[in-house]
Amino acid sequence: MLNTTAPTPLHPGAITQVAGIEVGHFTDVRRPTGCSVVIARAGAVAGVDVRGAAPGTRETDLLAPENLVSEVHAIMLAGGSAWGLDAASGAVRWLEEQGVGLDVGVARLPLVPAAVLFDLPVGDARIRPDAAAGYAACAAASSQAPAQGSVGAGAGAAVGKMFGMQHAMKGGIGSASVRVAGVTVGALIACNAVGDVVDPATGLPLAGARSADGRGLRDTRLALLAGEPPHPLLAGSNTTIGVIATDARLTKVQAKRLAMSGHDGLARSINPVHTMSDGDTLFALATGRAAQHPGMMVLATMAAEAVARATVNAVLAARAVQLADGSALPAHADLHGLG
Residue 296: CATH number of its domain: 3.60.70.12
CA 111 to chain centre: 19
Query: Residue 147 domain-assigned?
Result: yes
Number of domains in the chain: 1
Query: Residue 5 domain-assigned?
Result: no
> Which residue numbers in the chain have pLDDT < 70?
1-7, 235-236, 324, 337-339
Query: Residue 1 domain-assigned?
Result: no
| Confidence (pLDDT) at 213 | 86
Dihedral, CA of residue 135, residue 245, residue 283 and residue 202, to nearest 10: -120
| Confidence (pLDDT) at 137 | 98
Query: Residue 98 domain-assigned?
Result: yes
| Confidence (pLDDT) at 4 | 43
Burial bucket for residue 325 (CB in 10 Å: 0-12, 13-18, 19+): exposed
Query: Residue 304 domain-assigned?
Result: yes
Query: Residue 235 domain-assigned?
Result: yes
| Confidence (pLDDT) at 1 | 32
295: containing domain: 15-335
Query: Residue 35 domain-assigned?
Result: yes
Q: What is the largest CA-CA distance in the chain?
A: 65
